[in-house]
Amino acid sequence: MRIIVTECSARYSGRLNASLPTARRVILVKADQSCLIFSELGSYKPLNWMVAPCTLREFGPDSPRFASACLDMEIGYADDLVHEEEDEDDNEDKNENNNNDENGINEGIENPDNDDAGIGAASTMEDEAETNETDETDGLDKADESDETEETDKSQETGTMSADLNQVPQEFIHVSADKGPDTLLIALWRIFSDQEFDLGQDPGLTKDGVEDHLQRFLAEQIERIGPGSRLVRREFPTPIGPVDIMAVDAEGAHVAIEIKRHGGIDGVEQLTRYVELLNRDSTLTPVRGIFAAQTITPQARTLAEDRGFECLVLDYEDMKEQDSDEIMLF
């Protein structure tokens, strides 16, 4: 697991386009190269992400991909490159003009038959050439001093830069989906922390109070549906899926029990299908239904009672305390 605390901006493109302005965030990079961007406040979900299978690449200013990434992020660095090329062209033109002037001076010196005016013109051109060379030398010296000052400032800032559009990010993180056109491009303007940890094998989440636990406890404590009740089996098979619990009440009638953590109308509809199907079996009929859950919505209770089903609220903590040690065969 890699954890990066950074000042960053990001752009997501593919099935939809989205962007994140520059702000301080945390980037998580997992071993499978999944990349997730989190903020300090707000939702517990990441602001943006790319999940595996995907490919993650990193590159800095020395990479040939850096300029195109700046263009994609609409960073002014690409414009600076254009201006630098124009400045180089202007310098080449100046050098060519200086060479032409020097050739004219040499011609004046090599032809002694020229009159005084020609000699004076050559001398004037020579003075101008020297002046231009001096100006260019001064300009280059000033540029060198400026570059040295800028490099010193950068080293004093420990390699971090402000997220101004006229500045350059420290690096880019580019994540692309292996299947599909989706890409996530992240510009890292300042990196406050970049650490990697080996978390090892995770045993996974252990859940308590899920439907399987409710089913097991109710099967062990089947008399909660009524004194004298007996368990037939858990996961009683039917052509449309298994019934959570099939039991027999004290009067010998079969009881189909549908169990949910939070009982809603969908659960009642599911129980309805089971009971209607089971009542077609002459060896089971009559079959009545019980809708059991930790919580039951008012709408679900109304529908269940209208269809002749009993509603049973399960107290999970109480069922845990009375958990039976009896070995049961299902």
Distance separating alpha carbons of residues 146 and 143, to the nearest angstrom: 5
- Cα torsion for 105, 107, 112, 118, to the nearest 10°? -60
Distance separating alpha carbons of residues 93 and 225, to the nearest angstrom: 97
Per-residue pLDDT tens digits for 287-330: 999 999 999 999 999 999 999 999 999 999 999 988 755 545 44
Please state, in angstroms and as integers, the Cα–Cα distance from residue 49 to each residue in 23, 68, 184, 221, 232, following that order: 16, 22, 8, 46, 49
Identify the CATH number of the domain defined by range 2-75+168-196.
2.70.180.20
Q: Is this prediction's pTM over 0.75?
A: no
Rounded to the nearest 5 percent, the helix, strand and coil shares of the chain are 40, 30, 35
For the chain, domain boundaries? 2-75+168-196, 78-156, 211-321
Residues contacting 196, CB < 8 A, separation 6+: 1, 2, 3
211-321 adopts what CATH topology? Trna Endonuclease; Chain: A, domain 1 (3.40.1350)
Burial 154-164 (b: 16+ CB within 10 A, else e): eeeeeeebebe
Written in H, E and C, the secondary structure of 164-204 is: CCCCCCCEEEEEEECCCCCEEEEEEEEEEEEEECCCCCCCC
Residues contacting 86, CB < 8 A, separation 6+: none
Residue found by looking up tokens 């960053």 in the block = 8
Whether 36 and 49 have beta carbons less than 8 Å apart is answered as yes
Distance separating alpha carbons of residues 19 and 116, to the nearest angstrom: 72
Whether 12 and 183 have beta carbons less than 8 Å apart is answered as yes
Per-residue pLDDT tens digits for 266-292: 999 999 999 999 999 999 999 999 999
The DSSP H or E segment spanning 311 is strand 310-313
Distance separating alpha carbons of residues 141 and 135, to the nearest angstrom: 10
Per-residue pLDDT tens digits for 15-58: 889 999 999 999 999 999 999 999 998 888 999 999 999 999 99
Per-residue pLDDT tens digits for 52-108: 999 999 999 999 999 999 999 988 655 555 455 455 555 555 555 555 555 554 554
